[in-house]
Amino acid sequence: MTVRPQKSGKAFSFSKENEKKAKEFISHYPKSKQASAVIALFELAQRQSGGWLPEEAIVYVAQYLDMPLIRATEVATFYTMFNLKPVGEHFIQVCTTTPCWLRGTDAIMTTCQKELGIGAGQTTKDKKFTVVEVECLGACVNAPVVQINDDFYEDLDAKSFEELLLALKAGKPIKPGSALARQCSAPVGFSPQANTVKVAVKKAEATKKPDSPKAAAPKAQTTPRPKAKLAPKASTGATKLNGKSAPRTGQKKNKDV
């Protein structure tokens, strides 16, 4: 279902800083192809508008890029990353695609309902929180994953997600990343630093020279190989007799020789 962009009731124009950025984005495309920058400019407009893209901003960007309004509106309503109505200060996107769902998305959504009193697509009355369900956020290995504003929160469960929400409600900072202190996408409990040390120690041991010749490990005894008796060469069918080749077996003697 396509949602019609809402009006903010305020005129929109880029701030000085965003105007500069918009010109930079447009410069990446050939002349007369400036409309290719529409997504980048919508992104700027959405940030400037507090996380959503009002109709006034869509009209402004269409004019800015000299493109038909209908085409700009098609882009804005096609991509789910553009919010066409106001969102809360903390915009919570819960990944509900299969890997995250299998790892506990339902518990995350239940926690939203319990702590915030809202479900998917809703905003709290104080405009602090909006919750939406989204498709794969591209961090499946650390599922389940939730994006809050620009950051990812991974390896969550009901308890760790509840702690995040309580901190946000109390106005405290929260730490993005894995709730299990996982290093990037490495197996849980794996420490790249510790592993580097282990590898270095192993290498050092492998290349370590003995302290004194006495300490050197005795060389492995080698038993001399018995000399192999040379077997007579297989007859090639021709042997040299007085520098001349004897005729091969079955070969007719040349009477003239």
The answer to whether the beta carbons of residues 11 and 56 sit under 8 Å apart is yes
Q: What is the x/- site pattern for ligand FES, positions 139-178, by CB under 6 A? A: xx--x-x---------------------------------
Backbone angles phi, psi at 169, to 5 degrees: -65, -35
- How many other C-beta atoms are found inside a 10 Å radius of the C-beta of residue 95? 26
Q: Which residues pair with 82 in a beta bridge?
A: none
**Three-state helix/strand/coil letters over 18-47:** HHHHHHHHHCCCCCCCHHHHHHHHHHHHHH
Cα dist from 187 to 31, 89, 149, 219, whole Å: 48, 33, 26, 43
Residue 102 or 238: which CB sits closer to ligand FES? 102
Residue 50 or 104: which CB sits closer to ligand FES? 104
Q: What H or E segment, with its residue span, contains residue 123?
A: strand 122-123
Is 44 a binder of ligand FES (CB under 6 A)? no
Q: Which range, of 42-50, 138-146, 224-232, 246-254, touches ligand FES by CB under 6 A? A: 138-146
Query: How far apart, in whole angstroms, are the C-alpha atoms of residue 242 and residue 71?
Result: 101
Residue 187 or 226: which CB sits closer to ligand FES? 187
Residue 53 or 140: which CB sits closer to ligand FES? 140
Question: C-beta of 93: minimal distance to ligand FES in Å?
Answer: 10
Q: Which range, of 53-61, 96-104, 176-184, 224-232, touches ligand FES by CB under 6 A? A: 96-104
Is 87 a binder of ligand FES (CB under 6 A)? no
Is 104 a binder of ligand FES (CB under 6 A)? no
Query: How far apart, in whole angstroms, are the C-alpha atoms of residue 207 and residue 116?
Result: 60
Is 179 a binder of ligand FES (CB under 6 A)? no
Residue 86 or 104: which CB sits closer to ligand FES? 104
Chain positions contacting ligand FES, by CB under 6 A: 95, 97, 99-100, 136-140, 143, 145
